[in-house]
Amino acid sequence: MTKVRTKDILDKFHLELVSGEEGINRPITTSDISRPGIEIAGYFEFYPAERIQLLGKTELSFFEELPEGERISRMERLCTDITPAIIVTRDIEVPVELIEAAERESVPVLRTTMKTTRFSSRLTNYLESKLAPTTAVHGVLVDVYGIGVLITGKSGVGKSETALELVKRGHRLVADDCVEIRQEDQDTLVGTSPDLIEHLLEIRGLGIINVMTLFGAGAVRSNKRITLIMDLEIWDSKKQYDRLGLDEEKMKIIDTEVTKLTVPVRPGRNLAVIIEVAAMNFRLKRMGVNAAQQFTERLSDVIEDGEHEDM
């Protein structure tokens, strides 16, 4: 399924369609943008035809210096059957040779009033966001003290109930049941909710509740970067759980590894408070304060002192 088409760019940035309207639904497959100055000079050996082509003042002023025959030839080679669009910046007049070649090959020629560098930056950011690798995870995403906490676990373990308690305590819900995740950068995962279930929580025994209607606009947010995973599991008396917090487990989502904590669930444990403390402790660790490490260092000192006294 195509994520972005040329028409999306046209609408998003309010561009002017100059020619090539038949190709307005061409797919855009890469966030890379080309400024084909060297191609206009005649070198097409490595022409990235699948990219959006951006023509600014530099390219078009050089183009005007070329003989008429070369101008026609260069524009014909610039317009291919896989080129999603050719965009002219600074509201510069579009060359007739480009308009004619684009009409023949159905390549959309668009125009913007923005400067080339600024438009290139905005367009790249937009395309990278839209074309980022995506996945969906069964869980609940909550913003706790500025930390994006993804709560995972088997169905019925209490994820949604824990999220409801967190919302009551002033934190913000991003998504319940299904979290759509996109990798915006090498180590940046952003979670959102599917439109159909945005702002909704499913609580067994109550049914569907609208968090924004019940608790107000401050209780929800549309997206959040995921930095911590809390995996809830039913308490297993035979399993050894980490009691110090020295070992840091990781979970890989797409290509990014995220810190994961496994929390056993049994009656009497206040999961909302545990998750709050986990989020605060995670922030402290990022600031260089590690309580578990400090404890083990103090313990080592006490043991060493005891050994010296025995000697």
CATH 3.40.1390.20 boundaries in the chain: 6-131
pLDDT of residue 246 exceeding 90, the answer is: no
Among 76-80, 270-274, 306-310, the range scoring the smallest mean pLDDT is: 306-310
**What secondary structure does DSSP assign to 13-50, as a single string?**
TTPEEEE-GGGTT-B---S-EE--HHHHTT--TT--TT
Start-to-end C-alpha separation, the chain? 74
Distance CA 18, CA 79 (A): 14
Among 58-67, 120-129, 285-294, the range scoring the smallest mean pLDDT is: 285-294
pLDDT average, residue stretch 266-271:
80
Band of pLDDT at residue 266, cut at 50, 70 and 90: confident
Residues 6+ apart with CB under 8 A from 95: 60, 63, 64, 71, 75
pLDDT of residue 35 exceeding 90, the answer is: yes
pTM of full prediction above 0.75: no
Distance CA 151, CA 163 (A): 8
The encoded tokens of residue 74 equal: 């260069």
The encoded tokens of residue 134 equal: 């995506």
Task: Give the pLDDT score at 8.
Answer: 95
pLDDT of residue 268 exceeding 80, the answer is: no
pLDDT of residue 284 exceeding 90, the answer is: no
Superfamily (CATH) of domain 134-295: P-loop containing nucleotide triphosphate hydrolases (3.40.50.300)
Query: Which listed CATH number (3.40.50.620, 3.40.50.2300, 3.30.40.10, 3.40.1390.20) goes with 6-131?
Result: 3.40.1390.20
Tell me which of 5, 35, 111, 159 is the catalytic residue.
159
pLDDT average, residue stretch 266-289:
85
pLDDT of residue 62 exceeding 80, the answer is: yes
* Kind and range of the H or E run holding 103: helix 96-105
**Is-catalytic flag, 115?**
no
Please identify which residue in the block is written with the tokens 């605060």.
280
Cα angle, residue 194 at apex, residues 188 and 195 outer, rounded to 5°: 125
**Is-catalytic flag, 243?**
yes
CATH 3.40.50.300 boundaries in the chain: 134-295
> Which tens digit of pLDDT belongs to each residue from 94-141?
999 999 999 999 999 999 999 999 999 999 999 988 898 899 999 999
How many residues would you count in the chain? 311
Band of pLDDT at residue 306, cut at 50, 70 and 90: low
Task: Give the pLDDT score at 236.
Answer: 75
CA-closest candidate to residue 249, choices 224, 230, 268: 230
Please identify which residue in the block is written with the tokens 């074309």.
131
Main-chain phi, psi angles of 173, to 5 degrees: -85, 135
More confident residue, 175 or 263: 175
Distance CA 191, CA 150 (A): 9
pLDDT average, residue stretch 276-305:
78
Residue list for the binding site? 153-160, 202
CA-closest candidate to residue 4, choices 167, 103, 131: 131
Residue list for the binding site for ATP? 153-160
Residue list for the binding site for Mg(2+)? 160, 202
Distance CA 221, CA 21 (A): 38
Among 75-89, 220-234, 281-295, the range scoring the smallest mean pLDDT is: 281-295
Task: Give the pLDDT score at 303.
Answer: 74
Task: Give the pLDDT score at 178.
Answer: 94
pLDDT of residue 288 exceeding 60, the answer is: yes
The encoded tokens of residue 101 equal: 């070649």
> Which tens digit of pLDDT belongs to each residue from 163-210?
999 999 999 999 999 999 999 877 899 999 999 999 999 998 889 999
Cα angle, residue 122 at apex, residues 120 and 123 outer, rounded to 5°: 65
Q: Hey, how many other C-beta atoms are within 10 angstroms of the C-beta on 171?
A: 22
* Kind and range of the H or E run holding 65: none
Tell me which of 7, 90, 177, 260 is the catalytic residue.
177
**What secondary structure does DSSP assign to 208-275, as a single string?**
EEEHHHHH-GGGB-SEEE--EEEEEEE--TTSPPPSS--S-EEEEETTEEEEEEEEEE-TT--HHHHH
Can you give the C-alpha Rg of the chain in angstroms? 28
pLDDT of residue 87 exceeding 60, the answer is: yes
